[in-house]
């Protein structure tokens, strides 16, 4: 028996006769001729849950655009009102229930519901009934289907339609119906979400971003360097645990760890308070924000925690760096370069005065990288908590299941930062386990290492967990792609020249067609139609910075969503959108608070900055999903032929 016959025999178990196989054949042929769904690309969320959640709720402006387009007879205020009932139905229901008398409130809800049904009908038109049914809320599935698939134009149908709406209100289910219908609309507006890295750090609520993502069926994630250290911490990397806590302290977001994930930092806090009791820890004061004051006792205490974990991190890095000398990280070993008596450090034959020279736990006369007994106990305790935290493990498991170092999807190449190149224009080669790898193979070798480390996170002998730190800061890391991570210098040396992190040659070379051709060949993509989508470097299109580069073949879509970038970018992030008609970049105003938006019923403006109109509308048969469906169609045709020739016996 040949392999094709074996495969068709297996396929016959799912489609046991000509009738069932023909039905599926017809169904799939119909599906591939539907317009492709709308893809959203977003990157560098950095814990800004409220902004991220709003972009999901308004589909980065698509929902309001549809409302403006199809309800243009309504006033602007009524269109805004309808939009906010879709974005924030619970808040809007509470707002108007308190504001209006019951008859006026009921009248408003009937108008809102009528328009929401019409909008649902419009959005559902590009999907199969099967897809729509799977998206519908179970308790209202039948009712919504009747409303969106039945026309109210005919007199009898109008009565039927009106009777359904009346019954909803008679049974006092209008509030619940609006809530569920709004979710249905929001789901239809975004067919697939691509998160191109950096969910974590800086902002206060990465745990809520992850919780939201885990509820979404059609989402993929390309890991960023800030994601990889959280993944490493959950996999038992002590260096990554220290990094995660240090960054949380640096941005005054320790609540994310303690309240968000329930990780107990009290032993670290006690140690920091005792060890640095009389130390002002000025160099470790948290990054300022709108509520920050230098005189706040809590901020000063955070600075002590910040210093304690930073010194622990500097010590822990030594062993991991020495275990992997081929990754060019030895220049990050700086504690032994300090002259404690003079309060200076010598780097590249130049001596600099340190901003802070008080290191009570560093034994300069013996081994400056040795942890004290208390430091060892603390990092053991913290690493245990990260490895056994239920919520964090759930989130990191999701990152491994839905995530990857890179993704090829519908002729687009997605990765977070860069494809490492040498200055001469050749792909950078890195030795991993004695084998030189570059380009696509480099991405895949790194991914294999961290997946192995995660799956073996409870093993004592697991040096692969060092690769999380390597991906965090090595020059050959596609997630970092800079000459060094100048953490030590930024904390302790005033001279700005020492802080400089030189970007990988990719960022210069990507403007050249021959470099792009090399990349598309390396990843086996169509040079004529493929695009690269990445983030990592915040850019502001309103200031003339080039977001779309490389002869319009690269989209760098980090718009600085994090509030920490407010001084650098005047916008609050980008969404790149690809629908069946066009490919376009949307820039968003900086998000303040959803309560303010609800009060004003004025959405943050989403401005289209670039648009590439498709030469013809894109259908599912043009996509990766379509290619897969075509293969299934071909297999079904072969199965039907085998049934008709008697090669495979039909079953009832």
Express each pLDDT in 477-502 by its tens digit.
Answer: 999 999 999 999 999 999 999 999 99
Express each pLDDT in 125-178 by its tens digit.
Answer: 888 888 888 888 888 888 888 888 866 566 667 788 888 888 888 889 999 999
User: How many CA atoms, within 13 angstroms, populate the side-chain half-sphere of residue 126?
Assistant: 19
Q: Look at strands 192-195 and 574-578 and give their pairing.
A: unpaired
The residue range of the domain holding 9 is 3-33+634-645
For residue 610, the model assigns a pLDDT of: 76
Express each pLDDT in 527-561 by its tens digit.
Answer: 888 999 999 988 888 788 888 999 889 999 998 89
The answer as to whether 525 is a domain residue is: no
Q: How many domains is the chain partitioned into structurally?
A: 3
Q: Is the pLDDT of residue 290 over 50?
A: no
State whether 246 and 363 are in the same domain. Answer: yes
For residue 456, the model assigns a pLDDT of: 95
DSSP 525: -
State whether 609 and 467 are in the same domain. Answer: no
For residue 287, the model assigns a pLDDT of: 84
For residue 83, the model assigns a pLDDT of: 96
State whether 126 and 27 are in the same domain. Answer: no
User: What mean pLDDT comes out for the span 232-257?
Assistant: 97
CB atoms within 10 A of CB 272: 26
Express each pLDDT in 190-242 by its tens digit.
Answer: 999 999 999 999 999 999 999 999 999 999 999 999 999 999 999 999 999 99
The answer as to whether 146 is a domain residue is: yes
Backbone angles phi, psi at 407, to 5 degrees: -145, 135
State whether 418 and 553 are in the same domain. Answer: no
State whether 468 and 354 are in the same domain. Answer: yes
Q: Is the pLDDT of residue 351 over 90?
A: yes
Helix-helix angle 76-87:102-124, to 10 degrees? 80
Distance CA(648)–CA(357), nearest Å, equals: 81
State whether 131 and 51 are in the same domain. Answer: yes
Locate tokens 């709003």: which residue? Answer: 54
The answer as to whether 504 is a domain residue is: no
For residue 294, the model assigns a pLDDT of: 47
Distance CA(183)–CA(86), nearest Å, equals: 7
Express each pLDDT in 583-596 by its tens digit.
Answer: 899 999 888 888 99
The answer as to whether 298 is a domain residue is: yes
For residue 295, the model assigns a pLDDT of: 54
**Percent of the chain whose pLDDT exceeds 90:** 78
State whether 158 and 128 are in the same domain. Answer: yes
Residue pair 225/199 in contact (Cβ under 8 Å)? The answer is no
For residue 310, the model assigns a pLDDT of: 98
State whether 29 and 52 are in the same domain. Answer: no
The answer as to whether 258 is a domain residue is: yes
State whether 269 and 375 are in the same domain. Answer: yes
The answer as to whether 319 is a domain residue is: yes
State whether 87 and 22 are in the same domain. Answer: no
State whether 304 and 328 are in the same domain. Answer: yes
State whether 362 and 477 are in the same domain. Answer: yes
Least confident of 31-45, 293-307, 368-382, 633-647: 293-307
The rounded mean pLDDT for the chain is: 92
For residue 292, the model assigns a pLDDT of: 44
Q: Is the pLDDT of residue 506 over 70?
A: yes
Has this prediction a pTM greater than 0.85? yes
Residue-wise DSSP of 303-337 = HHHHHHHHHHHHHHHHHHHHH-GGGS-GGG--GGG
User: What mean pLDDT comes out for the span 346-374?
Assistant: 95
Residue-wise DSSP of 395-438 = HHHHHHHHEESEEEETTEEEESS---B-TTSSBPEEEETTEEEE
Residues 6 or more apart whose CB falls under 8 angstroms from that of 149 comprise 121, 129
The answer as to whether 518 is a domain residue is: no
**Percent of the chain whose pLDDT exceeds 70:** 98
The answer as to whether 523 is a domain residue is: no
């Amino acid at each position: 028996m040949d392999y094709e016959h074996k495969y068709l025999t297996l396929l016959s178990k799912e489609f046991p006769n000509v009738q069932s196989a023909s039905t599926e054949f017809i169904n799939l042929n119909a599906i591939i001729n539907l317009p492709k769904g709308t893809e959203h690309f977003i990157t560098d969320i950095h814990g800004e849950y409220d902004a991220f959640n709003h972009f999901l709720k308004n589909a980065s402006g698509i929902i309001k655009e549809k409302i403006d387009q199809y309800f243009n007879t309504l006033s602007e205020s009524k269109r805004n009102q309808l939009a906010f009932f879709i974005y924030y139905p619970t808040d809007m229901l509470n707002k108007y229930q308190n504001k209006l008398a019951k008859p006026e409130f009921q009248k408003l809800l009937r108008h809102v519901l009528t328009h929401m049904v019409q909008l649902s009908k419009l959005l559902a038109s590009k999907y199969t009934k099967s897809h729509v049914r799977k998206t519908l809320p179970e308790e209202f599935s039948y009712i919504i289907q009747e409303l969106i698939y039945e026309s109210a134009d005919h007199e009898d149908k109008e009565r039927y339609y009106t009777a359904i709406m009346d019954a909803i209100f008679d049974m006092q289910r209008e509030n619940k119906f609006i809530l569920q219908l709004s979710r249905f609309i929001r789901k239809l507006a975004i067919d697939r979400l691509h998160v191109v890295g950096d969910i974590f750090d800086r902002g206060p609520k990465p745990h809520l971003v992850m919780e939201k993502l885990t509820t979404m069926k059609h989402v993929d994630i390309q890991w960023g360097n800030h994601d990889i250290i959280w993944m490493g911490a959950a996999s038992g990397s002590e260096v990554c645990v220290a990094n995660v806590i240090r960054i949380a302290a640096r941005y005054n977001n320790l609540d994310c760890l303690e309240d968000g994930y329930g990780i107990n930092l009290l032993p670290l806090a006690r140690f920091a308070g005792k060890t640095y009791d009389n130390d002002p820890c000025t160099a470790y004061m948290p990054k300022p924000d709108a509520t920050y004051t230098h005189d706040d006792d809590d901020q000063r205490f955070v600075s002590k925690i910040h210093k304690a974990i930073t010194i622990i991190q500097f010590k822990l890095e030594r062993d991991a760096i020495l275990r992997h000398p081929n990754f060019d990280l030895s220049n990050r070993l700086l504690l032994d370069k300090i002259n404690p008596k003079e309060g200076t450090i010598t780097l590249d034959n130049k001596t600099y005065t340190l901003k802070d020279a008080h290191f009570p736990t560093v034994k300069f006369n013996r081994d400056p990288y040795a942890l004290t007994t208390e430091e060892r106990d603390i990092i053991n305790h913290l690493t245990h908590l990260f490895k056994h935290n239920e919520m964090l493990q759930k989130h990191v498991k999701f990152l491994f299941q839905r995530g990857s170092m890179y993704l090829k999807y519908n002729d687009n190449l997605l990765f977070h930062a860069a494809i490492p190149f040498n200055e001469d224009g050749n792909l950078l080669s890195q030795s991993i386990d004695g084998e030189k790898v570059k380009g696509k193979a480099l991405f895949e070798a790194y991914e294999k290492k961290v997946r192995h480390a995660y799956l073996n996170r409870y093993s004592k002998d697991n040096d692969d967990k060092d690769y999380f730190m390597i991906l965090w800061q090595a020059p050959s890391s596609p997630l970092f792609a800079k000459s060094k991570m100048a953490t030590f210098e930024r904390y302790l040396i005033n001279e700005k020249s020492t802080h400089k992190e030189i970007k990988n040659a990719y960022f210069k070379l990507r403007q050249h067609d021959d470099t792009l051709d090399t990349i598309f060949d390396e990843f086996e993509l169509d040079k004529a139609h493929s695009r690269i989508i990445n983030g990592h470097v915040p850019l502001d299109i309103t200031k003339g910075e080039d977001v779309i580069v490389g002869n319009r073949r690269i989209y760098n879509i980090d718009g600085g969503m994090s509030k920490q970038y407010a001084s650098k970018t005047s916008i609050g992030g980008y969404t790149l959108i690809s629908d069946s008609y066009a490919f376009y970049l949307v820039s968003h105003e900086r998000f303040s608070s959803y309560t303010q938006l609800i009060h004003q019923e004025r959405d943050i403006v989403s401005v289209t900055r670039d648009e590439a109109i498709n030469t013809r509308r894109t259908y599912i048969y043009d996509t990766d999903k379509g290619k897969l469906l075509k293969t299934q169609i071909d297999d079904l045709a072969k199965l039907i032929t085998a049934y008709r020739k008697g090669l495979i016996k039909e079953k009832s």
